[in-house]
Amino acid sequence: MTTESQDRPLRADARRNRAKVLEAARLVFARHGIDAGMEEVARHAGVGVGTIYRHFPTKEALIGALAVEHLRHLVARTQEAVSAEDPWSAFEALLWAAAEEHEGDLAMTEIAAQAFQGGLPEADALHAQLHEVSGTLMGRAIAQGTMRADATAQDLGVLMCGLGQVQSVGRPCPAPMPWRRYLTIVIDGLRAR
């Protein structure tokens, strides 16, 4: 997925381990933030650090792989939303669902950040795709008269970026679950008046 996977089929155990590593990384980073050690990820996956490095040349690459997975997921979700009949409801539901999914996730923001500047071609492509799809969705909502006319896909990105920060509860902001308020207010800000 990241470096070479189409070349040789990968031995059965290797494929299994790769998956375990990815899963463990998602979990550990979500719980302890992106600064969690590789050692910790390895322990959680039940493998040695060496195994991680066999699959991902560097910590950054591992994070990049997570980012790609995440983006893929987002694109899929957004595409579904585009084909709903009521674009505004679909849009709103999409945001709530996406946020809910990452409740208390300490890493999403940083992972997404990596993806942006990491220069991973795959991540770039997915970004472009996400940008386009969400643009379409928002365009439909605007046409419907429910979303403010000047809203763009880029705005959405910016707002989601803030959401990620807010969701890393504990680190930046105090008080539990303020992100629901965040989303409420932001969504109202995107509504047509």
Number of residues that bind DNA (CB under 7 A): 25
Binding to DNA, residues 51-70 (CB under 7 A):
51, 53-55, 57-60
174 binds, among a second copy, DNA, none (CB under 5 to 8 A by kind): a second copy
Q: Does 193 bind a second copy (CB under 8 A)?
A: yes
63: tokens are: 């994070």
Closest Cα to residue 181, out of 82, 99, 108? 99
* Cβ-based neighbours of 112, under 8 Å, separated by 6 or more: 67, 70, 161, 164
Choice between 47 and 67, CB closer to DNA: 47
Closest Cα to residue 90, out of 126, 128, 133? 133
Q: Does 181 bind a second copy (CB under 8 A)?
A: yes
In degrees, to the nearest 5, what angle opens at C-alpha 151 toward C-alphas 178 and 117? 70
Choice between 3 and 144, CB closer to DNA: 3
Binding to a second copy, residues 141-180 (CB under 8 A):
148, 151, 154-155, 157-159, 161-166, 170-175, 178-179
d(CA 63, CA 120): 11
Binding positions for DNA, rule: CB under 7 A: 8, 10-14, 17, 35-39, 46-51, 53-55, 57-60
